């Protein structure tokens, strides 16, 4: 039996992780720790079903409410509570699914505790990159990708040497605006940007998908996860989202990992790796996906994707700065303070004016993150 901690259990990835665990059965997994931001009502229901040893909430008022109806359960609060839940002694695998920089510290704390990480939080590798990988190696913590694209590459690379790889090809649905002309992009509303054609996700990641920043962050993650130079990583628009990513080898052959659009497969593979278990999907229906389409992304319309490639090439703290500034600009877009096009245009100017530094510690990451957010808040 594998003992699991889930950070962000009330979000999309967290809930689907519990769906996978429920399907595989209690003889396979035991949930020992649950953590979330503020949704105490969902945590209450999860606790009744999975009976974790510990629960943590960032929001102290939410923790107070939960204690009233779970008086016999240990419920921690604040950042210190979530950090303890992330490194809970009995856990073996930590599902890191708290989005944004809020999930960065708990992920690092779990790595420091030597836990294996099922990584759904993008900020760890985007912001920390080399520092995170060196820490994981030092502590003996394995990083198992949960993003469907990285899980696909992870599966395709199994049994193949790095020097045999010619290209990593990361697929993107293209979001809701892949066919909009440049002139039509400036009038995009927040509600329009939330209507993703394929996936149901939280608001921040959905907006990032509309600008293709989410795909840019995945490029940065792929570089660090698989130690492949940026020159060998490409993005292709694939609206059906059936091929989750591909690896091209030096002999010209390609391997693709495919399934219908779902997060159940990558989540389950991270939980059961290196084994495979019976999953939640029905057999693939080829009639529903009789045609697959591909096209190159347009960097002129989707500036954020180009900026992510640029940040990775520049290196040092630039990816961290870019990620944090983008987070603020997306929040400002949600409040109608900037337009959809301005997310990329303002981010471009902010990056041009920023002088990156080397990242050696968590404190360095936090310093860069805070600086980027402060500047982007009023720019």
The per-residue pLDDT for range 97-119, each reduced to its tens digit, is: 998 788 999 999 999 999 999 99
103 labeled part of a ligand binding site: no
Cβ atoms of 333 and 343 closer than 8 Å: yes
User: 256 — phi, psi (to 5°)?
Assistant: -125, 145
Distances from the Cα of 239 to the Cα of 289, 290, 303, angstroms = 11, 13, 19
Flag whether 147 is marked binding: yes
Instruction: Decide: residue 263, CB within 10 A, 0-12 exposed, 13-18 middle, 19+ buried.
Output: buried
Residue 10 annotated in ligand binding: yes
The fourth-level CATH superfamily of domain 2-145 is NAD(P)-binding Rossmann-like Domain (3.40.50.720)
Residue 342 is encoded by which pair of tokens?
């301005």
Is 13 assigned a ligand-binding role in the annotation?
A: yes
pLDDT at 201: 76
pLDDT recorded at residue 197: 76
CA 20, CA 1: separation in Å to the nearest integer? 15
pLDDT of residue 50: 97
Instruction: Establish whether 335 is an annotated binding residue.
Output: no
Assign 3-state DSSP to the chain and report helix, strand, coil percentages, each to 5. Answer: 50, 15, 35
262 labeled binding residue: no
β-bridge mates for residue 247, sequence order: 168, 255
Q: From start to end of 113-249, where are the E strands?
A: 116-119, 143-145, 165-172, 233-237, 243-249
**Within its chain, how far is the Cα of 96 from the centroid?**
9
- Buried/exposed 81-110: b ≥16 CB within 10 Å, e otherwise: bbbbbbbbeebebbbbbbbbbbbbbbbbbb
- Which run of H or of E encompasses 65? helix 60-69
244 is in an annotated binding site: no
* Gyration radius from the chain CA atoms: 20
Q: Which of 77, 65, 82 is nearest to 9 (CA)?
A: 82
Instruction: Report pLDDT for 122.
Output: 84
253 is in an annotated binding site: no
pLDDT for the residue numbered 123:
84
Q: Is 173 annotated among the ligand-binding residues? A: yes
Q: How far is CA 263 from CA 12, 67, 77, 93, 198, in A?
A: 9, 32, 29, 18, 12
Per-residue confidence (pLDDT) for residue 99, from 0 to 100: 83
pLDDT, tens digit, 9 for 90 and up, residues 278-297: 999 999 999 989 999 999 99
pLDDT of residue 186: 85
Answer yes or no: is 51 a known binding residue.
Answer: no
Say what the pLDDT of residue 54 is: 97
Tokens matching residue 182: 């440049």
- Residues of the chain falling short of pLDDT 50: none
Strand, helix or coil for residue 208: helix
Q: Does 360 count as an annotated binding residue?
A: no
Residue 11 among known ligand-binding residues: yes
**Pair 40, 10: CB distance under 8 Å:** no
Distance CA 352, CA 311 (A): 10
What is the length of the chain? 379
148 annotated binding-site participant: yes
315 is in an annotated binding site: no
């Amino acid at each position: 039996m594998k003992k699991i901690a889930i950070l962000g259990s009330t979000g999309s990835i967290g809930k689907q992780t519990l769906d996978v665990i429920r399907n595989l059965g209690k003889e396979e997994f035991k949930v020992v720790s649950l953590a979330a931001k503020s949704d105490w009502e969902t945590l209450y229901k999860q606790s009744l079903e999975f009976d974790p040893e510990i629960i943590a909430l960032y929001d102290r008022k939410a923790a107070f409410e939960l204690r009233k109806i779970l008086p016999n359960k240990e419920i921690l609060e604040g950042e210190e509570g979530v950090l303890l839940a992330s490194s809970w002694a009995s856990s073996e695998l930590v599902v890191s699914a708290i989005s944004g920089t809020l999930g960065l510290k708990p992920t690092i704390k779990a790595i420091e505790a030597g836990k294996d990480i099922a990584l759904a939080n993008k900020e760890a590798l985007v912001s920390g990159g080399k520092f995170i990988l060196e820490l994981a190696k030092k502590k003996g913590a394995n990083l198992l990708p949960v993003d469907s694209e990285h899980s696909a590459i992870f599966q395709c690379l199994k049994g193949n040497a790095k020097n045999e790889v010619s290209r990593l090809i990361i697929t993107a649905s293209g979001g809701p605006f892949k066919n909009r002309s440049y002139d039509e992009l400036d009038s995009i509303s927040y509600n329009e940007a939330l209507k993703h054609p394929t996936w149901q996700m939280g608001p921040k990641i959905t907006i990032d998908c509309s600008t293709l920043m989410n795909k840019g962050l995945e490029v940065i993650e792929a570089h660090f996860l698989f130690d492949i130079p940026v020159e060998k990583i490409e993005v292709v628009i694939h609206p059906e989202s059936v091929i989750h990513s591909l690896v091209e080898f030096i002999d010209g052959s390609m391997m693709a990992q495919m399934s219908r659009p779902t997060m159940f497969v990558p989540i389950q593979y991270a939980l059961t790796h290196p084994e495979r278990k019976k999953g939640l999907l029905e057999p693939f229906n080829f009639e529903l996906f009789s045609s697959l389409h591909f096209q190159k992304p347009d960097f002129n319309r989707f500036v954020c994707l180009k900026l992510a490639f640029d940040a990775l090439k520049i290196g040092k703290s630039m990816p961290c700065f870019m990620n944090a500034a983008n987070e603020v600009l997306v929040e400002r877009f949600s409040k109608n303070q900037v337009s959809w096009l301005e997310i990329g245009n303002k981010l471009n100017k902010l990056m041009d004016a920023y002088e990156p530094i080397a990242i050696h510690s968590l404190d360095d990451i936090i310093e860069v993150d805070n600086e980027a957010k402060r500047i982007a808040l009023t720019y």
